[in-house]
Structure 1
Amino acid sequence: MLALSALCMLLGLAALALAMDRHAAHLPVAGSGLKARRWLQVLGAAGLVASLVCILAVMDSGLAWITWLGLLAPATLCIALAMGWAVRGTKARKR
C-alpha cells in the first residue's frame, strides 16, 4: 500500500507541475488551454489525496501523516529532476 501511495503522489505532483505555466510551455503534451490546466490541477490534488488515503488505510493517524510528509520530499525532488531533464530534452530537439 505504501508503494501505491508513492505512485499516486508522484502522479499527483507531476499533474500539478504540468498545470504550471512554466512547465506547460516546455511540454506541449500538457495542453495549452485553461480548461486543460484546471483538469490537471484537479487530478493533481486528487492524486495527493488518494496517496494520503492509501497511507491512512494502513497506518494509524499520527504515523501516517509523518510517513506521507516524509514521502512528499523525495517525490517532489523526483518530479523536479524529471521536469529539468524534460526541459533539456526539448531544447536539444529544437537545435
Structure 2
Amino acid sequence: MGRLNILLLTLVIFCAMLVVEQQHAARTLFVALGQEQQAEQQIEVAFTRLQLQQVALAKGERVDNVARTKLNMSPPAQGSVIFMPLDGGFQHE
C-alpha cells in the first residue's frame, strides 16, 4: 500500500508541474499576442499616415509647383502640341 501511495503522490506532483508549465506557456503566448496586436495597430496608423501623405504629394497643384520650381519646366509653346484622335490622323492645337 505504501508503494501505491508513493506512486500516486509522484503522479500527482508530476501532473501539477505540467499544469504549472502549461499555464506559464499560455500566459507567455497571451503577452506575445498583446504585443503583436499593438504592433499591428502601430503599422495600421503608419499606413494611414502614408496614404494621407501620398494623397497630399499627388495633388495636381503640388506636382505643377514642383515641376515649375525644382525642375524648371514650363508649359509647351502654343502650336507645338499635336493631338492624335482615336480614328487616326493628326490635329494641330
Quickly name the TM-score band, shorter chain normalised: 0.3 to 0.5
TM-score (norm 2): 0.36
Q: Which structure has more RCO (C-alpha within 8 Å, separation ≥ 6)? A: 1
TM-score (norm 1): 0.35
Structure number with larger C-alpha Rg: 2
